A = this chain, B = another copy of it.
């Protein structure tokens, strides 16, 4: 860990921020916290931190200022509010670490506003985080840091204290870290909804959802999110691990960023956009403060507890299935594989489009919450240019997913994401983009004259 000097101001002590700030205190670092919610501030002083009533007060002696408020616009008011903004008291050469999730142009925008105020002396690091409250409190969050070399070097001691071995330095300048997070959240968002779509479909098919979960998470349709969220669906679990409102906000940032047409050609994000609509249905149904694993209720409005009702307790031996059950399970797995294939291509194509290093992107995502069997298995060929059909043509994958949709249609069960993935796959077939599944699907996002440029074939 780089040598640490100076004090830290920590703005925003929510579930994540409180853990992060307390971890810094535990590491014997001097931290002054600020939050609009007074009881939290009091808890923070009990944990050994100092507290301050405004950002302006909090940053007075700070060499480092960590921003972990809820939104990008809260960062702007913490910095620039006329009465309480930190700008007035910010020390010469202070390092601002922007960890709240915002749009990719947020940190360059903060840089610009500081420069306009004559504060080019201040350093800015774009440092979005992920990993949940436990890793926040452990100092092992994944942090995706970007900025100038000097800013990264100055901020390093605090970044190291918050991330430990999970700090990634993202090339590409200020904002690149947020772009990586955005691409990751494309996958995380889609896969959270897909975990619900799949488990609810299994229930609608009449499968034992406990056994189905055990089998699916070991198979080719698995994802980090299925494993994680699925485990909460098949046992009684009323704890709110991650509220539906959080992933809804993250997905909204992604879709908003993809919807700029006049200044920017725009970029269709088929699955992300469908994901947004399903999440909106969840919020509109009043589930915003529920855990996001409860999204199965959106798929089963008349029988909201069906996934849990049909779950037998987990056993240590692998589940067995009758031929009829195995056929049903294959329908669910086919749906998951198709969605995860298209989501992998949608995310990587977006990453390439926004100028990220796709090899690093793959390394970061493959073991993280956005990962899936499909992503890990198929992206290496996309990156190496050494294509193969992986034993399955697009047409064959289309056939499998059609079986799933046909059965769902007969049951009048909505397969929002699966249906969207099928349209993309069918478009790849119609356009004759080739039998090599991943490549064919990735070409959907090629711009004209750019065929094979996003992901070139090895000569």
The reply on A2 being an interface residue by CB < 8 A is no
Q: Is there an interface contact between A278 and B429, defined as CB atoms closer than 8 Å?
A: no
Given contacts A261-B402, A262-B399, A267-B426, whether A252 and B301 have CB atoms under 8 Å apart is: no
The SS class assigned to the A binding surface is helix
Q: In the assembly, what is the distance between CA of A95 and CA of B280, in Å?
A: 53
Q: Is there an interface contact between B398 and A266, defined as CB atoms closer than 8 Å?
A: yes
How many of chain A's residues touch chain B, expressed as a range? 35 or more
Find residues 61-83 in chain A having any chain B CB closer than 8 Å to their own CB: none
Q: Is there an interface contact between A268 and B413, defined as CB atoms closer than 8 Å?
A: no
Kindly specify which of A15-23, A101-109, A416-424 makes contact with the partner chain.
A416-424
The reply on A92 being an interface residue by CB < 8 A is no
Query: How does the 8 Å CB contact mask read for A411-439 relative to B, with 1 for contact and 0 for none?
Result: 01111100110111011011110000000
Residues of B within 8 A of A415 (CB): 277, 280
Tell which of A261, A267, A415, A444 has the most Cβ of chain B within 10 Å: A261
Q: Is there an interface contact between A256 and B430, defined as CB atoms closer than 8 Å?
A: no
The reply on A291 being an interface residue by CB < 8 A is no
Given contacts A261-B398, A422-B273, A431-B448, whether A412 and B280 have CB atoms under 8 Å apart is: yes
Q: List 27 A-B contacts (CB under 8 A).
A: A248-B412, A255-B409, A261-B395, A261-B402, A262-B395, A262-B399, A265-B430, A266-B398, A266-B429, A267-B426, A268-B423, A268-B424, A268-B426, A273-B422, A276-B419, A277-B414, A277-B419, A278-B414, A279-B412, A280-B412, A284-B412, A285-B301, A416-B416, A430-B447, A431-B447, A432-B447, A432-B448
